Amino acid sequence: HCNTLNEYAQYVARVRLYAADMSLDQAVERAVDECIREGILAEFLTCNRNEVISMSIFEYDKELEEKKLRKAEYEAGHEAGFSEGEKYGIERGTFLNSIETARRMLKFQEFSLEKIAAISGLSLDEIKKLQTNEARSDS
C-alpha cells in the first residue's frame, strides 16, 4: 500500500509541475502518459485512463479554487482585523490623551471640574474619579 501511495504522490506531483507551464488538461494527459511509460501506477492508469483524467482535472480545479477562497478569506479577515485594531488604537489613544489633559488641568487647580470635563471630553464622573485617584497618589 505504501508503494501505491508513493506512486500516486509522484503522479500528483507531476500534474502540479506541468500545470504550472501548460493547461490543466495537457498537464494531466502528460502526467498519465509519463507514469504509464515509467511504470508508475501503470496498470491502474492504463485500465482507468479516461476516468483518472477527468477526476484529476476536477479534483485539481477544486483544490485550486479552495486555495484561492482560503487566501481571499484570510486577506479579508486580516484587513478587517487591521481596521478594527486601528480603530481601537485611535479610540484608546484619544481616551488616554483626554485623561492626560484632565490630569494636567487638575494639577493647576484653576479650572472647575465641569470646565475640565468640557475641555477633555471626559464625563464629570470620570473627572471626579480621576481627581480622587490623583489626590490618593499625591498622599
Q: List, for residues 89-99, the tens digit of each pLDDT value.
A: 999 999 999 99
- Identify the residue whose cell numbers are 504522490: 9
Q: Cβ atoms within 10 A of the Cβ of 29, count?
A: 18
The pLDDT assigned to 1 comes to 58
pLDDT digits (tens, 9 = 90+) for 30-89: 999 999 999 999 999 999 999 999 988 888 777 777 888 888 888 888 888 988 999 999
The pLDDT assigned to 64 comes to 77
Residue 86, helix vs strand vs coil:
helix
The pLDDT assigned to 138 comes to 74
Q: Judge whether 6 and 31 are in contact, CB under 8 Å.
A: no
| Residues with Cβ within 8 Å of residue 115, at least 6 apart in sequence | 105
Q: Rounded to an integer, what distance in angstroms lies between the CA atom of residue 12 and that of residue 45?
A: 13
Q: Rounded to an integer, what distance in angstroms lies between the CA atom of residue 97 and that of residue 131?
A: 16
- Terminal Cα distance for the chain, rounded: 79
Residue 22, helix vs strand vs coil:
coil
At 3, the pLDDT band (50, 70, 90 cuts) reads confident
pLDDT digits (tens, 9 = 90+) for 14-37: 998 999 999 989 999 999 999 999
The pLDDT assigned to 11 comes to 94
Residue 104, helix vs strand vs coil:
helix
And the C-alpha cell for 135? 489626590
